[in-house]
Amino acid sequence: MKKNMKVSFLIFLIMGILFLAGCNDSDSSDSNDDPSAPHPEALVSAEWVKDLIDGKNPETYPGKGYVIVFTSWYPRWETNEISTTGNGLPFATEGHIPGAIFLDTYSVETGPSSEYGDGYESPSHSYIKKLPVLQAFFASMGITRDKTVVVYADDDISMMTAGRIAWALLYAGVEDVRILNGSFDAWQEAGYPVETGATAWTPAQSFGESPGRPEYLATTEDVRKVVNGKDKGSIVVDDREWDEFIGLSNSYYWWFEEFGRIPTARWIGDWVDIATEDHQSFIAFEDAESQWIQKGFTPDQKMYFYCGGGARSGMYAFYAYMMGWPAANYEGGWYLWSTDESNPREIGAP
């Protein structure tokens, strides 16, 4: 009898330990979804990427495979060439990080028009693809939910270019998105090898079961609730140039001519305010946080970033994600808001 009691007690003890372990796993998963959890590991150095390629399993790498993405707006913007391999482009002729694949920045958008020629024909064309379509697109490039994806660019606005795509990957549901701080310049300055020629990849059968991360995208209805005072827990944040904010400029957007800002919006600064002077790196998180707090922003309100279309605000939303400040990208931005006559606007200094 006593022997049976001891066995029963041991079984009960083991089940209890397993239950607690399961709870801890669940808590860990929940913390990864916590919008207030900072993700400084998402900004990586050239050395980190080199160790990844060399199979050294750098710190914070989950070990589930990786994809290195070089992204560029240039070919589509300049010639309307939609490249999937980078063949004939500087990516192939001048070189890239070994094994990197080429991703046209505009390819995450709904299209078919882009900034080429007369520009977008409609705000819907510049809008991010619907989640299932976006996930299928990434899967076609070998990107899945559980892979580590490192994004980098090589142009005069590298952090905006990479930030836009990093946000799109986060929104799609990729669990581990990284940006190479210092861009391709940092890789070359470190003396690491460069590969030329176009690259190929193996499409994945599926992206993997994922609802995506819709909390990182703000809709027009979300913004209207803030404007109308129905949502006190969020704030509309303008990250355009000051002259755009007060209605003196429409920046470089030649495909629509609208001036002003979304009512209640507060100006945080242009995208260059969180990038280094050469635009190839981000400034330190603590420096950005100090700037934001001085301007009256706090992490207890969700930030709905918007710009002219979605590139600058996508970069800002991803940067806030790395900082642990709840945020979303108002995709479509001023183009989407201002071309709807039912939406109010403000002009002038607040």
**Per-residue pLDDT tens for 285-300?**
999 999 999 999 999 9
Structural domains in the chain?
40-212 (3.40.250.10), 215-338 (3.40.250.10)
What CA–CA distance (Å, rounded) separates 23 from 3? 30
Q: By C-alpha distance, which of 309, 302, 347, 346 is closest to 324?
A: 302
Q: Please determine, for residue 14, whether its predicted confidence score (pLDDT) is greater than 70.
A: no
User: Please, are residues 335 and 257 in contact by the beta-carbon 8 Å criterion?
Assistant: no
Q: What is the pLDDT of residues 183-228, one digit of tens each?
A: 999 999 999 999 999 988 899 999 999 999 999 999 999 999 999 9
Q: Please determine, for residue 181, whether its predicted confidence score (pLDDT) is greater than 80.
A: yes
pLDDT of residue 188: 98
Q: Please determine, for residue 6, whether its predicted confidence score (pLDDT) is greater than 50.
A: no
Confidence of residue 74 (pLDDT cuts 50, 70, 90): confident
Mean pLDDT, rounded, for 311-338: 98
Q: Please determine, for residue 5, whether its predicted confidence score (pLDDT) is greater than 70.
A: no
Q: Please determine, for residue 2, whether its predicted confidence score (pLDDT) is greater than 50.
A: no
Q: By C-alpha distance, which of 193, 188, 200, 212 is closest to 280?
A: 188
pLDDT of residue 83: 84
**Out of 90-94, 219-223, 225-229, 236-240, least confident range:** 90-94
What CA–CA distance (Å, rounded) separates 141 from 131? 16
Q: Please determine, for residue 22, whether its predicted confidence score (pLDDT) is greater than 60.
A: no
Amino acid at 207: F
Mean pLDDT, rounded, for 40-47: 98
pLDDT of residue 339: 95
Confidence of residue 41 (pLDDT cuts 50, 70, 90): very high
Confidence of residue 36 (pLDDT cuts 50, 70, 90): confident
